[in-house]
Amino acid sequence: FLVRMSHEIRTPMNAIIGLSELARREYGKPKALEYITGIQSAGASLLAIINDILDFSRIESGRMDIAPFPYETASLLNDVLTIIRVRMTETPLELVTEIAPDTPRAMIGDANRIKQILLNLLSNAVKYTQRGFVRFSVSWERLEGDDIRLMFAVEDSGIGIRQEDLRRLFGEFTRIDEKRNINIEGTGLGLSIARSLSRAMGGDILVRSEYGRGSVFTATLMQAVADWKPMGNLAEVSVTRAETQSATFIAPEAEVLLVDDFPSNLLVAEGLLVPYRMRLSTCLNGRDAVERVRKQAFDLVLMDHMMPEMDGVEATRAIRAMDEGRCWTMPIIALTANAVSGMREMFLENGFNDYLSKPIDMRRLDAVLKEWIPADKRRAPEEDEPPGETAAMPESRLPEIAGLDAAVGMARIGGSPERYRNLLETFCRDAETGFALLGREPEESSLRAFTTLTHALKSALANIGARELSEVAAALEEAGREAEMSAIRERLEPFREKLVELVARIGEFLASTRSGESEGEFDPELAEALASLREALEAKDFDAMDTALARAQSRPMEGRMRDALTRIADFLLTAEFEKAAKTVRSLLE
């Protein structure tokens, strides 16, 4: 139950956190920025609770795995201190660090779990300290061979803990002195999880406290050393990170393929990748991704895990099985909303190089891109280059369509009118392809296809702002999964009628906007790329086709042009060269 709920909750959380990050970049009004920051904060808090409950579930079931990998000590400590400094910006507290400079430079352990322990202890210290200081100390002692005992101490001048409460401190769902701490949020799981993690790594957490005068929590862990060279002074070796979530580099020459079967997830991911200025291509399923990789070399592939027909794991296996050597070494990063223990190992075993958990965290995204995008294609952002601006959709231009909350749909894709119109056009095409399957009660042989379709429609309808129809699609999906034919019979026909009506109303709106548009100036570089693509199609030069299409897709453009290029790419994948050539000629004319 927890595993399934985690996946279902994380998918909309991806939109909440990702889109609020995009909106934060676009809005300049202080009050709007305050609201958006509040959304991010609430989303992050909810995600932390989800993670705590899931970790507790793993510990109770004996499935809490420790995944040891080499890590840079300074990088780990810097990440922890950067996060806690951000949390302390609105407090009068002083953060004091005492980190032994001879601490080994690199170790082997579960860096993410260590961060989880340290952030829990430091966050508690900040929460329960109103004035004074929080001191973070790191020391170590050598054991046998390459093993060491790593010791972290977190001391605060806070409210302290009564001696009679110390024995209950590490209990599950336990919060001590609740009357005094009524305004402090928490599940009462953090310390229990932190101690369990420490013990899983051969250590423990101990506490000393004096009521009213502060506490000292000491966490010990056993680690293997990968590089005995001293880490040195943390301030000298650490990479300075901006407190705002932003790109630390650009890569205009990097070719990246983004694969996800949900258009809204694609739009969120595309938006997060905009600051990196990479050449981005997209696919809506694993099978197309395999064909795209077969024809074009990419510097990085971001592959969604759960997709119909061919999922991300199957697609990655197919890519790794290709004859070309570049397909064996091409970095493939999994995108997953599944937080189940052991997922990292599963991805690595199936040919992935790494994974990103949804909701996508900008800092984690930046770190993954920095690790896998080739160094010769990365460079520092150009300071004198102004950031791009996205025009907001005036209220008068919001479509007034019965059954559709356009404001909700617009917000889901960052407020861009062109992206929203593009999403509406895509939705109409996708919905129309499903009308035939929805026109009759499914048989046993077609029940799986029916369930897959209603699952896709559930998300697609929610993405455009059709909440009520999305809820009906969700009920039909559940009925299909459980083979409840009576429930399907009851809901199917009314659902199909309302869906057809909605698609017709959206079509009328789209037609009216096309007829009222004036022609914009044509990008000469885009025109040149399209001309090259036309020549390549006439000569049946496949390499030249791919190169010209990639050049065209790298240019900035409005939604309908990008949609046309996506259709051309689909035609090339299915070897429908005449259709591709016809579309190119139409664009050039």
For residue 19, the SS3 value is helix
122-144 burial, b if ≥16 CB within 10 A, otherwise e? bbbbbbbbeeeebbbbbebeeee
Contacts (Cβ under 8 Å, ≥6 apart) of 238: 74, 75, 77, 78
Compute the distance between CA of residue 533 and CA of residue 536 in angstroms, rounded to an integer.
Answer: 5
Amino acid letter, 85:
R
Give the relative orientation of helices 542-553 and 524-539 as an angle to the nearest 10 degrees.
160
Write out the chain's pLDDT in tens, 589 residues. Answer: 665 566 566 666 766 777 777 676 666 566 676 667 667 666 766 776 676 666 666 666 565 667 788 888 887 887 788 778 767 876 888 889 999 989 998 999 988 789 889 988 998 899 889 889 999 999 999 999 999 999 999 999 988 888 877 777 766 545 555 444 444 454 456 788 888 889 989 999 999 988 888 999 999 999 999 989 998 776 544 333 333 446 789 999 999 999 987 665 676 677 678 788 898 888 888 999 999 999 899 999 999 887 777 889 999 999 999 988 889 999 999 987 554 555 777 888 899 999 887 657 777 888 899 999 999 999 987 643 444 433 334 444 567 788 888 877 765 554 566 667 777 877 777 777 677 678 788 887 788 778 877 877 877 787 788 888 988 888 898 888 888 888 898 889 899 889 988 988 888 887 776 554 444 455 777 888 888 899 888 887 777 787 788 778 766 666 667 778 877 876 776 667 888 888 888 888 7
User: CA separation (Å) from 386 to 241, 275, 382, 383, 389?
Assistant: 20, 11, 9, 8, 9
For residue 574, the SS3 value is coil
Helix runs in 128-233, H state only: 163-166, 190-200
φ and ψ of 51, to 5 deg = -65, -40
310-327 burial, b if ≥16 CB within 10 A, otherwise e? bbbbebbebbeeeeeeeb
Amino acid letter, 375:
A
Q: Contact 148/223 with Cβ under 8 angstroms?
A: yes
φ and ψ of 183, to 5 deg = -90, 5
Q: Contact 533/586 with Cβ under 8 angstroms?
A: no
Cα 114 to its chain centre, rounded Å, is 22
For residue 100, the SS3 value is coil
Compute the distance between CA of residue 377 and CA of residue 362 in angstroms, rounded to an integer.
Answer: 20
Residues facing 137 on adjacent strands: 98, 153
Cα 508 to its chain centre, rounded Å, is 34
Q: Contact 118/152 with Cβ under 8 angstroms?
A: yes
SS (H, E, C) 216-261: EEEEEEEEEEEEEEECCCHHHHCCCCCCCCCCCCECCCCEEEEECC
Nearest 5°: the CA angle 34, 36, 39 is 115
Helix H or strand E segment including 545:
helix 542-553
SS (H, E, C) 359-417: CCCHHHHHHHHHHHCCHHHCECCCCCCCCCCCCCCCHHHCCCCCCCCHHHHHHHCCCCH
Question: Which pTM does this prediction carry?
Answer: 0.39
